[in-house]
Structure 1
Amino acid sequence: MSLDVGALLLQTVPFARGLGITYDFAAEGRAVCRLPDREDLHNHVGGPHAGALFTLAESASGAAMLSALGDQLTRAVPLATTANVEYRKLAMGEVRAEARLLVSREEVVAALDAGERPVFDAVVDVTNGDGVVVAAMTVTWTLRPNRT
């Protein structure tokens, strides 16, 4: 698939662009993104605000989803339906989110082909510069078939 997932998301999601999220990798249902260490993104204890961490993780999950299913955008709209986040440790400095789908591309495409609305999860680990997991998230996605 020739879709530049990072460029697409930065173009269509201005909030991610405003936070300075960078997309390092997106392919085959996996993605890696980074959030810079900026003072304007800090919370009251000097680390990235929980909302910024949430957006980073959700953005990584979307990139993972699009890396596997971006060619389905002509027939379905991707929508995040739920997210569960666990903030485990104080994050300091630049943070990195690594996401992966818990479903195969073939399963999702088969559901679309059968006229169903697929629902599937992506899991994300957010790590600090030392590789310690500071937050974990599960995002549930659906592909809503376009109305004809």
Structure 2
Amino acid sequence: MAKINRLTKAVNIFQKFPESIRTFALSKAMGNVVKYAGTSGLRYEKLTPTECIIVIPNRKKVRNHIGSVHAAAMGLLAETATGFMTGLTVPDDRIIVIKSMHLEYLKQASGDMKAVATYSDEQVEYIKNNEKGDINVPVVITDGKGIETVKATMIWAWAPKRK
């Protein structure tokens, strides 16, 4: 059985919470750890090593001049979903960093924005079995109508922590 890392252990604690408060509690805790994400009001709906679902509500703090979620906030959403999923996968003796972030805005978004990042079992094994490397993390970003409004390519890298 593969050893799970500290972040996964911490997130797993929230799985014991009643479903009615789980998302709120997880979002509050993660927002305290990653302050910018907390200020932006990200809602962590699912965090596992193979799927992360994060929503950014369309509220005044994150809106642009036309009333939709700001482009930079959509970048935060994509980075957070892919980063948390990678963080849940990489062993504790390694550190992760974003290597590349490319966002293409396809059309005007409306409502809340959702990012769904996923890894296949093969990708998880690749990360766990390679001390150093990088990977393109799949993420789909949709608006409140379920339309993909942003195409994102996020590349995360990992390497051994310095002693």
Structure 1 residue aligned with 2:11, among 1, 4, 7? 4
How far residue 101 of structure 1 moved from its aligned partner, in angstroms, is 3.1
Q: TM-score, normalised by structure 1?
A: 0.85
1:90 maps onto 2:105 in alignment: no
Contact 2:89 2:128 in 1 (8 A): no
For 2:94 and 2:88, how far apart are their aligned partners in 1?
A: 15
Alignment of 1:1-148 (within 5 A): 1=4, 2-4=9-11, 9-69=30-90, 72-73=91-92, 75-101=93-119, 104-112=123-131, 117-148=132-163
The AA in structure 2 aligned to 1:68 is: T
* Residue 53 (structure 1) shift: 0.7
Q: Which runs of 4+ in 1 moved over 3 A?
A: 5-9
More helix by share: 2
Are the counterparts in 2 of residues 9 and 63 from structure 1 also a CA contact under 8 Å? no
Larger proportion of strand: 1
Gaps of 5+ in 2: 13-25
**TM-score (normalizing by structure 2):** 0.78
Is the partner of 2:55 in helix, strand or coil?
Answer: strand
Partner secondary structure for residue 89 of structure 1: coil
Letter in 2 for 1:128: D
CA contact (8 A) 1:29 1:66 kept: no
Question: Percent identity, aligned pairs only?
Answer: 23
C-alpha RMSD of the superposition: 1.9
Q: How many residues align?
A: 141
- RCO higher in structure (CA 8 A, sep ≥6): 1
Gaps of 5+ in 1: none
Tell me how far apart the structure 2 counterparts of residues 126 and 141 of structure 1 sit (CA, whole Å). 17
